[in-house]
């Protein structure tokens, strides 16, 4: 039995109680066996900490910091902050912290809807609504830059990091475009962002009357649709945004701050140019339904529309029977069959100029002499070279598309929409309304695609012709991830230099016997050092010149007549005005702009860039004006040395490739390196493209042929 000992019990009582039920046969006291010791109850386990159901997402919305922007995680990815989506309003610093479900963090893009009840700390009250976005994995800062990045990545199936790297290079920036750029001493990022924000407002307002109208997919146009196409337009014009940001009309008033009245006025005027100039903005009431409908067709097509292609017609120009161009790629059945997850294709590009037919390769260079750096060797792209691509996934995304053994690496998303049985004229006229360029900021307008003429003329020319079975229009978004330096390896492309006495330039008005004023002969350069020494940028100055042009009219050079061609190197030109002759010239100078460089300036490896006039009769370089300084770098690539430039001037931003110089095998060549771009393209599948081509073969286009695998 268990005994509880109280303080009032005597030892005798305890002994007597202990003997009860003893079992001993004598008087020997029995010591009870020890019983079990009572244990304190174990403490209850501590409750597991509650798993948080929400997480804080800190977001800053910028052009300048924006007050009262509605910010959300766009769970249904429709570009709008809907009821039920995690959302909040920004404070005067442009900041908001969203209490998001933990599972949603980093999963959905961020949308910032900026209405007319918002205030921009730099530019003041917002006068027209617009929308900004940021990729799901980069939600910290929402800005015009993040908006372009989100669109480029989403459209091409690339990562936000890849899209950011391409656009950072396009904008000429060294810091991440995901950073908060406000408060920086250098205002270039802020002014470009401000320009883009005003473009979004101005162009969005101009297109707003189209909300509710039909698009070519059978749907209707929404405000979110317009916002997306405005972003696509800015992606297509990145080069112009960068170029114009270097103009004195913007740099001077915005040099120290973007919030001054003068800077705001300059930004507004700059944006107005981008919106109203027909060469810069092609998105308008006529084609907004095409642009929106194309994108909806992509979204609605589904996995079944991801094409397994035997080829495509990528660009087509049909000017007249002797002047035409076909560009595309083809694959045999074996090439289109994946091997280790990779398919192959071959380029086919042919141009007829006045009946003279030429086949082209990489970079528009003749296939027998075009060389580029593959990463391990200098190689060419002969006719029949097999490009490679990883098999597209169920969403049409293709990765590591390798064009000509490393000439370029691209990520793309392609969706095909069936056009079998549709009128050729209807599809052709829609393609010609596509508002973006075939190579992003540097490509050709799709208005030049296909046959020349008005929509009515094209409809009349094609009559009732329809596309055959298995015809598709291919919508494709590209993001170029790398591009190699290339050059044409023939003597017509070598760089020649003049002697040291010619390179000194001088004033021929006072000394007509200067070497630069006399007939001089150039010799091919054999090293980059010779190129550098021979081009110090010292002009030969002449007095005003005259020449007799068309109809005997005397043309005058003006007071300034400086020859720069002997002591500067060419970076290319802008414009396509033809040179004249004594019987055809109507002006002393063409309208073309020549871009040049001299190896002169304060500091090591410094160069000076120029924009120059072109003499109409002989194309010589005249009257160069400095447009900035940069630096050059020489790298060894295999058995060659390649000279590249940094901080290229704004005018060169309009060229689709950057000038490089290649020294190889004792010669120096003019070379180029394509710029990295984001682009939205339209193509025809091979069956559709060849059907259209054959229609014009029947119309007598000389030498025109369908593309064959």
- Of 617, 576, 621, 615, the closest CA to residue 595 belongs to 621
Residues 6+ apart with CB under 8 A from 495: 524, 525, 531, 569, 661, 668, 669, 670
Task: Return the SS3 of 363.
Answer: helix
Residues 6+ apart with CB under 8 A from 3: 14, 17, 32
Q: 228 and 328 share a domain?
A: no
* Position 595 in a domain: yes
Bigger pLDDT: 652 or 165? Answer: 165
φ/ψ of 272, rounded to 5, equals -60, -40
Q: Which helix (H) or strand (E) holds 144?
A: helix 144-156
Return the pLDDT at 299.
81
* Position 311 in a domain: yes
Return the pLDDT at 46.
66
Question: Could you report the per-residue pLDDT of 217-271, keeping only the tens digit for each?
Answer: 999 999 999 999 999 999 999 988 988 888 889 999 999 999 999 999 999 999 9
pLDDT band at 563 (very low <50, low <70, confident <90, very high): very high
* Position 41 in a domain: no
Bigger pLDDT: 242 or 359? Answer: 242
Q: 568 and 650 share a domain?
A: yes
Q: 466 and 551 share a domain?
A: no
Question: Could you report the per-residue pLDDT of 91-116, keeping only the tens digit for each?
Answer: 999 999 999 999 999 999 999 999 99
Return the pLDDT at 366.
46
How far apart CA 211 and CA 202 sit, in angstroms, is 15
* Position 39 in a domain: no
Structural domains of the chain, count: 3
Return the pLDDT at 647.
75
Return the pLDDT at 601.
75
Q: 435 and 550 share a domain?
A: no
Residues 6+ apart with CB under 8 A from 225: 215, 292, 295, 296
Q: Is the whole-model pTM more than 0.85?
A: no
Q: 270 and 328 share a domain?
A: no
Return the pLDDT at 32.
45
Residues in the chain: 709
Q: 629 and 685 share a domain?
A: no
pLDDT band at 173 (very low <50, low <70, confident <90, very high): confident
How far apart CA 335 and CA 296 sit, in angstroms, is 31
| pLDDT greater than 60 at residue 185 | yes
Q: 261 and 143 share a domain?
A: yes
pLDDT band at 651 (very low <50, low <70, confident <90, very high): low
Q: 478 and 560 share a domain?
A: no
Q: What is the mean pLDDT of residues 72-82?
A: 95
What is the DSSP secondary-structure string of 144-200?
A: HHHHHHHHHHHHHT--HHHHHHHHHHHHT-SS-TTS--TT-SS-HHHHHHHHHHHHH
Return the pLDDT at 405.
87
Q: 438 and 567 share a domain?
A: no
Q: What is the mean pLDDT of residues 502-521?
A: 93
Q: 661 and 547 share a domain?
A: yes
Question: Could you report the per-residue pLDDT of 400-455, keeping only the tens digit for each?
Answer: 899 888 989 999 998 899 999 999 999 999 999 999 998 887 788 999 999 999 99
pLDDT band at 3 (very low <50, low <70, confident <90, very high): very low
* Position 26 in a domain: no
Task: Return the SS3 of 580.
Answer: coil
Question: Could you report the per-residue pLDDT of 135-149, keeping only the tens digit for each?
Answer: 999 999 999 999 999
331 neighbors 344 (Cβ within 8 angstroms): yes
Q: 448 and 534 share a domain?
A: no
Return the pLDDT at 395.
85
Question: Could you report the per-residue pLDDT of 291-318, keeping only the tens digit for each?
Answer: 999 999 888 877 656 666 789 999 999 9
* Position 328 in a domain: yes
Q: 269 and 320 share a domain?
A: no
Which structural domain, as residue segments, surrounds residue 460? Answer: 302-483+678-697
* Position 495 in a domain: no
* Mean pLDDT estimate for the chain: 88
Q: What is the mean pLDDT of residues 67-87?
A: 96
**% the chain with pLDDT above 90:** 71
207 neighbors 283 (Cβ within 8 angstroms): yes
Q: What is the mean pLDDT of residues 47-59?
A: 77
* Position 35 in a domain: no
Return the pLDDT at 455.
96
Burial 503-534 (b: 16+ CB within 10 A, else e): bebbbbeeeeebbbbeeeeeeebbebebbbeb
């Amino acid at each position: 039995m268990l005994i509880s000992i109280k303080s009032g019990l005597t030892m005798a009582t305890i002994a007597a109680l202990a003997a009860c039920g003893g079992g001993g046969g004598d008087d020997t006291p029995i010591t009870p066996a020890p019983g079990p010791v009572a244990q304190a109850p174990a403490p209850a386990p501590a409750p597991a900490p509650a798993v948080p159901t929400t997480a804080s997402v800190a977001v800053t919305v910028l052009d300048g910091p924006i007050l009262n922007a509605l910010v959300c995680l766009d769970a249904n990815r429709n570009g709008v902050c809907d009821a039920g989506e995690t959302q909040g309003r920004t404070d005067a610093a442009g900041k908001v912290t969203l209490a998001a479900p933990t599972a949603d963090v980093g999963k959905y893009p961020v949308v910032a809807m900026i209405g007319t009840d918002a205030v921009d700390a730099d530019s003041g009250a917002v006068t027209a609504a617009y929308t900004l976005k940021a990729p799901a994995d980069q939600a910290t800062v929402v800005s015009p830059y993040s908006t372009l990045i989100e669109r480029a990545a989403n459209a091409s199936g690339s990562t936000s990091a890849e899209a950011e790297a391409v656009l950072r290079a396009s904008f000429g920036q060294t810091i991440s475009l995901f950073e908060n750029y406000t408060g920086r001493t250098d205002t270039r990022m802020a002014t470009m962002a401000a320009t883009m924000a005003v473009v979004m407002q101005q162009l969005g307002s101009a297109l707003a009357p189209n909300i509710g109208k039909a698009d070519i997919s059978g749907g209707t146009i929404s405000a979110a649709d317009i916002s997306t196409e405005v972003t696509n337009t800015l992606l297509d014009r990145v080069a112009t945004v960068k170029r114009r940001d270097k103009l004195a009309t913007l740099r001077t008033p915005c040099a120290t701050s973007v919030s001054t009245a003068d800077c705001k006025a300059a930004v507004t005027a700059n944006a107005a140019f981008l919106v109203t100039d027909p060469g810069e903005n092609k998105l308008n009431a006529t084609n907004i339904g095409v642009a929106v409908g194309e994108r909806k067709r992509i979204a609605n097509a589904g996995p079944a529309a991801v094409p397994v292609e035997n080829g495509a017609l990528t660009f087509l120009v049909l000017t007249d029977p002797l002047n035409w161009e076909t560009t595309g790629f083809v694959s045999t059945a074996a090439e289109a069959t994946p091997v280790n997850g990779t398919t192959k294709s071959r380029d086919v590009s042919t141009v007829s100029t006045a009946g003279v037919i030429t086949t082209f390769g990489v970079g528009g260079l003749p296939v027998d002499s075009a060389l580029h750096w593959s990463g391990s060797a200098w190689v060419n792209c002969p006719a029949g070279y097999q490009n490679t691509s990883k098999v597209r996934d169920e969403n049409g995304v293709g990765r590591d598309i390798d064009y000509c053994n490393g000439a370029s690496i691209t990520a793309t998303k392609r969706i095909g929409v069936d056009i079998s049985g549709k009128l050729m004229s209807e599809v052709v006229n829609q393609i010609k309304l596509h508002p973006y360029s075939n190579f992003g900021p540097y490509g050709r307008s799709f208005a030049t695609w296909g046959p020349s003429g008005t929509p009515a003329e094209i409809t009349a020319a094609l009559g009732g012709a329809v596309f055959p079975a298995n015809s598709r229009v291919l919508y494709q978004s590209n993001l170029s991830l790398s591009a190699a330096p290339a050059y044409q390896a023939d003597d017509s492309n070598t760089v020649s230099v003049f002697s040291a006495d010619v390179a000194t330039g001088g004033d021929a008005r006072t000394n007509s016997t200067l070497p630069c004023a006399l007939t001089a002969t150039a010799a091919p350069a054999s090293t980059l050092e010779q190129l550098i020494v021979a081009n110090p940028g010292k002009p030969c100055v002449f007095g005003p010149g005259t020449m007799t042009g068309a109809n005997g009219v005397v043309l005058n050079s003006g007071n300034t007549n400086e020859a720069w061609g002997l002591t500067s190197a060419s970076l290319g030109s802008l414009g396509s005005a033809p040179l004249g002759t004594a019987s055809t010239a109507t002006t002393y100078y063409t309208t073309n702009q020549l871009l040049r460089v001299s190896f002169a300036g304060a500091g090591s490896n410094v160069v000076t860039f120029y924009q120059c006039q072109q003499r109409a009769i002989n194309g010589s370089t005249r009257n160069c004006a400095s447009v900035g300084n940069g630096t050059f770098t020489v790298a060894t690539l295999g058995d060659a040395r390649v000279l590249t430039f940094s901080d290229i001037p704004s005018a060169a931003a309009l060229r689709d490739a950057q000038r490089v110089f290649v020294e190889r095998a004792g010669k120096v060549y003019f070379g180029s390196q394509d710029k990295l771009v984001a682009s939205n393209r339209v193509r025809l599948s091979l069956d559709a493209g060849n059907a259209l081509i054959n229609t014009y073969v029947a119309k007598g286009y000389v030498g025109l042929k369908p593309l064959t695998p």
